[in-house]
Structure 1
Amino acid sequence: MKTLIALTATALTLGTAAFAESHAMTNPQVGGADMFSDKTIVENAVNSPIHTTLVAAVQQAGLVDTLNSEGPFTVFAPTDEAFGMIAEDSLKALMMDENKAQLAQILTCHVVSANAMSDAIAGMIADDGGMHPVPTVGGCTLQAKMDGDKITLTDENGREATVTTADVMQSNGVIHVIDRVLLPKS
């Protein structure tokens, strides 16, 4: 009888674990690469083939330790294509040592010190009548709104980015991939 109870308990435990695993929220891939919810923002970004410029900029700006820390952070992560919209000479100048503070401010204008999933952002947008202010770590305020089922963010200069991949869970927050670099007020 004890053996039957032990076997039944084991079967129930294994069955429950398998059910939970099969129904767990899986992270979307980014640029064809798997993203892991037990890795930090930096660890996952390094594996993304469409975020090489962002990773280089984060390293140049000295923000690796910050984005590897406990958080939580929400990062609106511009792709290489988004950085490609910036004139090549301007981007090269921005990556120079003497412009490190400016680069850090631009990057931190993509970071919020909270864990904001897309459904929560959409809820805040709805609660605020269609547009929600998003204060960033870099001192910028982005305006979030919905464009159909996509979240868009407008910077203080009127530049608009669309979230192309939402809710990429990290151990220290969440990444939302965006299609444009957002800038502080000029």
Structure 2
Amino acid sequence: MRTTLTSLAVALALGSLASCGGGGDGGNQAGEAQTGKAKDAAGDKTIATGLGSNGRFAALAKTAGLDQTLAGPGPYTVFVPDDAAIAKVPAETSAAWSKPEGRGEVTRLLTYHIVPGVVLADDLGKAIDRGKGKAQIITMGGGTLTAAKEGGSIVITDGNGGKVTVTKADEQYLNGAVHHIDGVLTPGKN
């Protein structure tokens, strides 16, 4: 699927819901993807600026060369694991990420946390409801995540069956939105 999708269309490119958005082939600009209210909430910070330079996710984004992408026009939605979640990654895996030969794996991992367009928690909730309890989300890396509701929270299941919970939703930035999660999403084996 080579069509560029805008915010709600991305949320609804989830299974059978793809027809509910305004997906066009050229409307993937932050200004078109956000309402006036969202733009006001976002201010002038990009996702890269909002993540700062001290967090582990931001450091990995820099290692992968994605910091410039997250500073660009977007729009993007990023599921950001908290530092404690990234710290739980086995030491041999995280040590490999800092080596030049590990850059491809870091990029694959991080693009699995990024979705094109602005997908707010309300969009996810509606997509889950319309999908009879589940919604498929296509990532920038081409992987698939599954969103569901559990106990009043949005839970994301990755390609290996691992589950993370959205702990803080809808941080809005000039070029998209960030949802904080309590774990690292891992793509399935290709």
TM-score (norm 2): 0.76
Are 1:45 and 2:51 counterparts?
yes
Which string of whole-angstrom CA distances, capped at 9 and with x for unpartnered residues, describes residues 52-86 of structure 1? 11011000001111111111100000111110121
Q: What SS is found at the alignment partner of 1:174? A: strand
Higher Rg of the two aligned structures? 1
Gaps of 5+ in 2: 1-36
| Separation (CA, whole Å) in 2 of partners of 1:181 and 1:136 | 14
Which string of whole-angstrom CA distances, capped at 9 and with x for unpartnered residues, describes residues 64-123 of structure 1? 111111111000001111101211221111221111111101000000001011011000
Are 1:88 and 2:94 counterparts?
no
Q: What SS is found at the alignment partner of 2:145? A: strand
* Structure 1 ranges of 4+ moved more than 2 A: 24-27
| Separation (CA, whole Å) in 2 of partners of 1:79 and 1:63 | 18
- State how many pairs are aligned: 152
Larger mean CA deviation between 85-94 and 150-159 belongs to 85-94
Q: Tell me which amino acid in the other structure corresponds to 1:62.
A: G
**Equivalent of 1:60 in 54, 60, 63:** 63
Residue 131 of structure 1 aligns with which residue?
A: 134
1:154-169 aligned within 5 A: 154-169=157-172
Q: Tell me which amino acid in the other structure corresponds to 1:81.
A: A
| Separation (CA, whole Å) in 2 of partners of 1:171 and 1:149 | 28
Q: Tell me which amino acid in the other structure corresponds to 1:45.
A: L
Percent same amino acid at aligned positions?
Answer: 34
Give the RMSD, CA atoms, in angstroms. Answer: 1.7
Residue 78 of structure 2 aligns with which residue?
A: 75
TM-score (norm 1): 0.77
